[in-house]
Amino acid sequence: MNARHPIALSASHVSVLHGDFKAVNDVSLSLKAGEWMALVGPNGAGKSSLLKALAGLSPASGEVSLLGKPWAEWPRRERAQTLAWLGQAEAGQDDLTVYDVAMLGRLPHQSWLASPSAQDKAVVEVALKTVQAWDWRTRSLGQLSGGERQRVLLARALAVQADVYLMDEPLAGVDVPHQADWLEWVRCLTEQGAAVVSVLHELNLALQADGVWVMSGGQLVHAGLPNDPVTHQALSSVFQNRLQWREWQDDGATRWVALPK
């Protein structure tokens, strides 16, 4: 999973139009290999639209490069092996089993019509065990709660073994212990050289990231460190100044918590 290029993902002057409405307006950014960035902002700020544009899943103007190579130059399958996507509330037909869903993550690595290899099966087993879903691998998605289903979808993304992970609200419906587990998994991924971008509504989880991208009105209004007061100011500003900040010590390190005001 070691990234082949120091810049995992970059965007230059990316804009997304939804009809007449400009959902993303001239955004430029850069994500290093081994870095986790949290994308935050109020509802309708353009976070999901930007993430989809970065993943090449919606039409956008501007240029996006993956591992230094422009998006259009990537062959479809190779691109799918390099970038893993976890969408917001992915619709799930209830009839696929947990194992089938996780195995879909290996599709970019498999030849057409080929059965899953021993390696595919081993990777899927690890992914399902990572999200603690291995024990109910024979259950169908329809038999899972929202949070359990989200963990299975995360296992599907992990099974891709990509260099870049783009996750849109990956923790929707996930309980607190598994949110903490998710933080561990993301740190593990970045330690292995992967880059992660996650849209998060839970600001205190977003403040655990290596960096925070703040969006409002379709624009990237701030990119900074989670402990930087300027970042806190930008966040307060986009959330109508309805945040208050509390400082706390965590193993000698200063951390910040955002509370509603």
Partner 1 sequence: MNARKVSSAFQLAWQLALLLLLLVAVGCMVGSDGWAWAQWRTDTDLILDIRLPRTLGACLAGALLGLAGALAQGLFRNPLADPYLLGSASGASLGVAIGMVLLSQLDMSPWFVRVGITGMAFMGAWLAVALSLVLSWGVQHTLRLLLAGVVVGVVLGAIASLLLVMFPQIQGSVQSFMLGSTAYVSWPACGLMLAVLALSWAASVAASPLLDGLALGESTALSLGLPVKSLRWVLLGLLALCTAAAVAQTGLIAFVGLAAPHLVRARYKGIHGKTLSLSCLMGAVLLGGADLLARGLMAPLELPVGVLTAILGGGYMLYLMRGMSSGSSAGRGGRL
Contact residues for partner 1 (CB under 8 A)? 52, 55-57, 76-77, 79-81, 83-85, 87, 90-97, 99-101, 104-105, 107-108, 112-113, 137-138, 140, 142-143, 153, 156
Length of the chain, please?
261
Q: Tell me how far, at minimum, the Cβ of 149 lies from partner 1, in Å.
A: 10
Q: Tell me how far, at minimum, the Cβ of 86 lies from partner 1, in Å.
A: 8
**Nearest to partner 1 of 14, 98 (CB atom):** 98
**Nearest to partner 1 of 7, 96 (CB atom):** 96
DSSP readout, 114-134? PPPPHHHHHHHHHHHHHTT-G
Give φ, ψ of 60 to 5 degrees. Answer: -150, 150
**Nearest to partner 1 of 51, 258 (CB atom):** 51
Task: Give the closest residue to 189 by CA, choosing from 33, 49, 64.
Answer: 33
Q: d(Cα 40, Cα 202) in Å, to the nearest integer? A: 9
**Nearest to partner 1 of 80, 131 (CB atom):** 80
Q: How many CA atoms lie within 13 A of 194 on its CB side?
A: 23
Q: Which residues contact 3 (CB under 8 A, 6 or more apart)?
A: 33, 34, 67, 163, 193, 194, 195
Q: Tell me how far, at minimum, the Cβ of 256 lies from partner 1, in Å.
A: 33
Q: Tell me how far, at minimum, the Cβ of 162 lies from partner 1, in Å.
A: 10
**Nearest to partner 1 of 75, 260 (CB atom):** 75
**Nearest to partner 1 of 83, 196 (CB atom):** 83
**Nearest to partner 1 of 83, 258 (CB atom):** 83
What are the CA-CA distances from residue 75 to residues 63, 71, 79, 195 (Å)?
A: 16, 9, 6, 20
Q: Tell me how far, at minimum, the Cβ of 17 lies from partner 1, in Å.
A: 17
Q: Which residues contact 112 (CB under 8 A, 6 or more apart)?
A: none
Task: Give the closest residue to 164 by CA, choosing from 20, 14, 29, 13.
Answer: 29
Q: Tell me how far, at minimum, the Cβ of 50 lies from partner 1, in Å.
A: 14
Core vs surface per residue 180-196: b (16+ CB within 10 A) or e: ebbeebbeebbeeebbb
Q: Tell me how far, at minimum, the Cβ of 94 lies from partner 1, in Å.
A: 5
Torsion of CA 173, 178, 179, 181, to 10 degrees: -150
